[in-house]
Amino acid sequence: LQLIPKELYEAGRVDGANRLRQFFSITMPLLKPTLAVALIFRTLDALRVFDVFQVLMGNRMYSMASYNYYQLIGNRNMGLASAIGVIIFFLIGIFAVLYMRLMGVDKE
The region, left, alpha or beta by phi > 0 then psi within -120 to 50, assigned to residue 74 is alpha
Q: Give domain status of residue 5, yes or no.
A: no
Q: Give domain status of residue 9, yes or no.
A: no
How far is Cα 80 from Cα 66, in angstroms, rounded to an integer?
A: 13
Q: Give domain status of residue 4, yes or no.
A: no
What is the maximal distance between C-alpha atoms in the chain?
67
Please write the tens of the pLDDT for every residue from 18-42.
889 889 888 888 888 888 888 888 8
pTM: 0.65
Q: Give domain status of residue 75, yes or no.
A: yes
Please write the tens of the pLDDT for every residue from 33-75.
888 888 888 888 887 777 777 777 777 778 888 888 889 998 9
Note down the domain range covering 59: 32-103
Domain count across the chain: 1
How far is Cα 31 from Cα 56, in angstroms, rounded to an integer?
A: 37
Segment holding 11, helix H or strand E: helix 6-14
